[in-house]
Amino acid sequence: MERLGTHRCRALSTVRQAGVILAVVGACAAGFPVQGVGRGQDAVDPPRPTRNDLVRPLGPSDEVLMLRHQRLQKGAHELYYRASLFGVWPWFERLGARMTGQWQVVFPEGGGSPGFDEGYRLARYASFEHWRHTRGALSRALGGNGPNRDRSIQALRTRAEYGLGSNGGYFLQGLTATNRPRFLPAVDEEYARVDTSQPTLDDEVIAVRNDVARPGIEIVVLRYTRIRKGAFNDILARTVAQVWPFEDKMGGRPIGQWRVIYPDAPRRTEESPDYDEMITMSRYASYDHYLTTRPGQAVFVGGNGPDWQAWRSALEAEAERTLEATVEFLQGFTHTSPPSYQPGLPERYRLR
């Protein structure tokens, strides 16, 4: 399976870009036009600078994420991503949004890919109000209308060139995981090796030593679950306290777990009186790595100590509250929102 996240230079001069050619110059450092993008926009849209007030105090539970599905022309996923990376995302991050990643749906379990690419983009906002203020004219009031916004508008047109539709987006609230240190103390025991055969699930003691890290192609697992009404907070608490510590020890890296919400905006699903919807996303070093972290296999990677017992208990409790679940596998680009330098223009203003 080809790695979709590669940053190799590609010959793109023949790709149509809504009237602009995406020229790859030198070492593909930019991937999107840099100079003069949209400066003629001021002719129809007079300069609109902005000053910003103090940050709006919000709690962690106010954060809203948008998980957006895309259906794209075959082979266009990386071009779509580059238009986002160099055109759209710098503007949205100027507005305070934070991008988590852009990934393509892959099929490691077989079944074959359709005649188009499918992708997901995950973005974070301080609140639903914040999300609204990153759209349309409200975004201009929030961040001005300089060349950075013009480039974003052009990049959105470029992305539209590749788009074939969408299943819509999920608005999410819950917990976005942080990659913080975890201390799982060793059990105060001593062990004597019996032999060098593979342990079995019937063994009373499964203690583990680990081999060196095995390279692979990173995969993101997106799990959509319909759960019993009102069960999300308990599931999340168990996930944070019991699931993530053990999976983190096995080398997985959680992205987050969220409940789908239904604000007054276009969205993928409508609220049901019969169930809540939950999204869980995690990163693994490869598809094989993911398989070794499944129930029945994880014990041979992490042992059967108290942390494994807590992990298994939390998964069983979630299963009791689960009505339906589907899994999609993704590969692509995990984005860390690096620093972005967007200089101010040499202009002076006064209050009207």
Its pTM stands at 0.87
Long-range CB pairs of 203-206, under 8 A, 24+ apart, other chains included: 203/304, 205/304, 206/299, 206/300, 206/303, 206/304
pLDDT (tens digit, 9 = 90+) per residue, 297-309? 999 999 999 999 9
Indicate the domain borders of the chain. 60-167, 217-331
Mean pLDDT of 187-196: 95
By mean pLDDT, which of 38-47, 100-109, 150-159, 170-179 is the weakest?
Answer: 38-47
Instruction: In whole angstroms, give the CA distance from residue 178 to residue 176.
Output: 7
Domains 60-167 and 217-331 share a fold: yes
Helix (H) or strand (E) holding 161: helix 147-162
pLDDT confidence bin for 133, thresholds 50/70/90? very high
Q: What is the mean pLDDT of the chain?
A: 88
Instruction: In whole angstroms, give the CA distance from residue 301 to residue 323.
Output: 29
The number of residues in the chain equals 352
Output the six-digit token pair for 232: 């999300």
pLDDT (tens digit, 9 = 90+) per residue, 249-279? 999 999 999 999 999 999 999 999 999 999 9
Beta bridge partners of 64: 125
DSSP for 55-92 reads PPP--GGG-EEEEEEEEE-TT-HHHHHHHIIIIIHHHH
- Domain 60-167 CATH assignment equals 3.30.420.40: no
Query: Domain 217-331 belongs to what topology?
Result: Alpha-Beta Plaits (3.30.70)
